[in-house]
Amino acid sequence: MTPPSPRPKLTRPRPAVAQPTGKAAPTRAGVRRPVAERIAPEDALLICFYKPYGVLSQFTPEGKWQGLKDYIDLPGVYVAGRLDADSEGLLLLTNDGKLQAHIADPRFKMEKTYWVQVEGTPDEAAMAALRLGVVLNDGPTLPARARLLNPPPDVGERVPPIRERKSIPTSWLELVIREGRNRQVRRMTAAVGYPTLRLVRAAMGPYSLEGLAPGLWKQVNAR
């Protein structure tokens, strides 16, 4: 008799394992946040972009706001540290997931420098309050560095122009913070009695707007 053929081995399909793809990762609220891959240091890119007013910190436009794809044609880079659409200034992008986390995570306490145009002229009491920390609805802020900027920074006119009352002067402040709460700078100046009219992020850690005009970007070395 011919011996029976051996029965084929049955193997269970392995569960799919998520691999870093540079695609968006789910958050608790169900909103997907773009996450960069972890790559070799020599392949890491870091981009400094001067975000104009009216541009979202994402590549896809929404409603009246533009997306980054209108300015940056570079595949595989993702935002590290968001900036509101109605704010201007430095936005960092990278293709390195580890660097992205380091920049965006408030635990690493990367300083962020803002130039803030406010309604009115803050007195010393208001400046002292900003330096010591002000109480917001989500708790007190950490101490910050604050000073008046005179002359004001050379940032040109905003497009569209700010809404200001001709009867009330405006002033520029420099505010340096280590936190990243939602609309924190605007809430801080409002808490001391001086609403923000215009907000420009000038620097994040060692990275700045130097050499850039609105809508332009440059590649820099990660430090």
CATH number for the region 111-204 comes to: 3.30.70.1560
pLDDT in tens, 35-90: 666 666 667 899 999 999 999 999 999 999 999 999 999 989 999 999 999 999 99
Domain spans of the chain? 34-107+208-220, 111-204
Q: Per-residue pLDDT tens for 152-191?
A: 999 999 999 998 888 899 999 999 999 888 899 999 999 9
User: What does the alpha-carbon distance between residue 155 and residue 137 come to, in Å, rounded to a whole number?
Assistant: 31
105-114 exposure pattern, b = at least 16 Cβ within 10 A, e = fewer: eeeeebebbb
Same topology between domain 34-107+208-220 and domain 111-204: yes
CB distance 192 to 134 below 8 Å:
yes
> Is 86 known to be catalytic?
no
- Which of 43, 70, 73, 84 is catalytic? The answer is 84
Fold of 34-107+208-220: Alpha-Beta Plaits (3.30.70)
C-alpha span between 92 and 223 (Å, rounded): 13
- Residue written as token pair 């193997």: 11
